[in-house]
Structure 1
Amino acid sequence: MKSVDDAHTRPEGTSDATVEAVGKLSEAFEVIEEARGSLYAFHRNLGRADLTLGEAVEKLRAAGHTEFADEIETDLVGRNVLAGRWTFQIMEEFDDGYYATFREHDRRVRDELMAGRRHVYEAEMKQERRTHGRQGHEATPTTPTSADD
């Protein structure tokens, strides 16, 4: 079933197999986006942990435990997470390498096979699964329920 809006309608002559394949590629890229978000959360959490660790070192020192404070400060505060890298460097390498390459393939395939249209597979699935004419099942945000079939 075709989508009702031009932004999500398959290009003329595009096969079901192509729509499904491009949809699967987009699904894979969405998983990469989710993983990227987790990687950014990792980056932020480790940064917060390092700053909190610095506060703990200050408190240990203030409490008279300078030996522990000095040892932790020297060995752990500001330590690389991976060889030669803080998390921002991991993020930059991921973004500039794997992520950028994946995003470019997703864009190129969509541009060449779907005329740049996104989520055509999902739009067609929506048309098949929604209850036409029922409130809350509109085809688009601007489609009134009464004129929705």
Structure 2
Amino acid sequence: MSTTSETPPAPTDLSVDETHSRPEGASDELVEAAGKFSEMLERIERARGALYEFHQLMGGADAMLDDVVDKLRACGQEEWAERIERELVGRNVLQGRWSFQIVEDFDDNYYEPLKGTEREMRDDLMGGRRHVFEAEMKQRRRTHGHPHHTATPESAD
């Protein structure tokens, strides 16, 4: 058993740099909660990207119907060309909505409020610092002194 008393590490010792250090008094549980909110927002960012991909794919597919109509007309298939033009070109992807309206509704009613709330919580509870949880994980997992495990691009350790 050691007779020396170890002092707990300062919050800045837990992290890779001051920018990502936990605010004074922030508990492990609070850092973990803020990290989980950030992780959830990252998933929403990916979902938003998929929604924008859907929007662009739908727009491109709808534009391709113009070629289908032109080719059917060139083959003398006027009835099919008219039917596709009337029923499918410019059709709503959801009741009353094109994909741009879905994207706007998602952004206005879900994404922006979520992103704003995450920012406000981070400002209030983490002093505006981002990725505190991840920075502490990096500090725990890296091999100090190894050239490929430096804390930051500028640091030697």
**TM-score, L = length of structure 2:** 0.89
Moved over 3 A (4+): none
1:24-35 alignment, distance < 5 Å = 24-35=36-47
TM-align CA RMSD = 1.0
Larger radius of gyration: 2
Structure 1, unpaired ranges of 5+? none
Give yes or no for the alignment of 1:96 onto 2:108: yes
Task: Please give the alpha-carbon distance, in whole angstroms, between the structure 2 residues aligned to 1:4 and 1:139.
Answer: 5
Task: Please give the alpha-carbon distance, in whole angstroms, between the structure 1 residues aligned to 2:149 and 2:60.
Answer: 43
Task: Please give the alpha-carbon distance, in whole angstroms, between the structure 2 residues aligned to 1:97 and 1:127.
Answer: 37
Counterpart residue number, 2:6 = none
> 1:127 aligned to 130, 139, 149, which one?
139
Q: Which amino acid aligns with 2:95?
A: A
Structure 2, unpaired ranges of 5+? 1-12
The size of the alignment, in residue pairs, is 145
Question: The residue matched to 2:146 in structure 1 has which SS?
Answer: coil
Deviations 1:124-143 (A, max 9, x none): 00111111111221111112
Counterpart residue number, 1:39 = 51
> 1:86 aligned to 81, 95, 98, which one?
98
Counterpart residue number, 1:140 = 152
1:49-64 alignment, distance < 5 Å = 49-64=61-76
Q: Which amino acid aligns with 1:113?
A: L
> 1:106 aligned to 78, 102, 118, which one?
118
